[in-house]
Amino acid sequence: MKKWFGATFLAVMVGGTASAAVRFVPMEEIAAEADTGVVGRVVDKYCAWDNEHKMIWTHYIVDQMQHVFGKDVEARFELNFAGGTVDGKTMIVTETPEPEIGQEYVFFVYDATKKFSAATVGHFQGLFKIVRNPQTGFTQLVNGENRLVGGDEDGRIIAGPGVTVDADNHIHLAPLSREEAGTPEAEPVIRDYRGQIVPEGARAIADAPGEKPLAPIDADAFIDYMRDLRARIRGEK
């Protein structure tokens, strides 16, 4: 049996803030609102009912690799996200990220005492997976929506165009080109940076019209940027 919950409905149920949908959260707000910024590797997960046996939570076990700012956490800590499967029953909470075991992330999280449906600020917007660009060999980051993080022309770091991430943790820019297939009414053919057709199910989120390319940013530069934002907004050193 599966149960579906909208993120905002669950937020009301467990004490969060209601809204029509998960709204856009800029980096400045992520840096300001997070109780902790931390780099960690997800090593395990388990699902369990809450104490009232009404809600299923997925508990991710994370090994800390680097403290970014805010409250410190244990060398091994848990992050809790609403939803999961227990006793043959599944609860699915929309817009809630699902960190992958074995992968490294930069997390911006609330204190564990705050019972929101997602531990991360802005749901999928508050965690950033460390990936690799096969063209350059450098590490980069994508947020929980697989949007590539980079620098814009104003010097800000933002989550920009959608990308695909393969099994080797390599990013592939998509879409890069569009061709009409057959008639003007046909769906466009989308190809990756190598010119290969990207299957419909594997396509990343399409770029917004007029979206400008971003300068590549690695994990260290991103961490420094978020620390600087935190210091300027919250006065923390």
CA-nearest of 116, 92, 93 to 13 is: 116
Q: If you average pLDDT over residues 22-46, what whole number do you get? A: 95
Q: How confident is the model at residue 237 (pLDDT cuts 50, 70, 90)?
A: low
List the single range of 28-37, 61-70, 112-121 with lowest mean pLDDT.
112-121
In the numeric block, which tokens belong to residue 21?
A: 């949908």
Q: If you average pLDDT over residues 73-82, what whole number do you get? A: 96
Q: If you average pLDDT over residues 184-198, what whole number do you get? A: 45
Q: How confident is the model at residue 201 (pLDDT cuts 50, 70, 90)?
A: very low
Instruction: Provide the residue range defining the domain that includes 101.
Output: 2-234
Q: Kindly report the CA angle at 216 between 214 and 218, in degrees rounded to 5?
A: 140
CA-nearest of 106, 114, 107 to 82 is: 114
Q: If you average pLDDT over residues 127-132, what whole number do you get? A: 97
Q: How confident is the model at residue 174 (pLDDT cuts 50, 70, 90)?
A: low
Work out how many domains the chain is built from and give that number: 1
- Residue-wise over 154-181: b if at least 16 C-beta within 10 A, else e? eeebbbbbbbbbeeebebbbbbeeeeee
pLDDT at 211: 60
SS3 content of the chain, % helix, strand, coil (to 5): 15, 40, 45
| Of the ranges 18-22, 155-159, 209-213, the best mean pLDDT one | 155-159
pLDDT at 21: 62
pLDDT at 234: 85
Q: How confident is the model at residue 137 (pLDDT cuts 50, 70, 90)?
A: confident
Is the model's pLDDT at 39 over the cut of 60?
yes
pLDDT at 136: 85
CA-nearest of 37, 41, 45, 36 to 64 is: 41
pTM here?
Answer: 0.77
Q: How confident is the model at residue 135 (pLDDT cuts 50, 70, 90)?
A: confident
Rounded-to-integer distance, Cα 34 and Cα 107, Å: 9
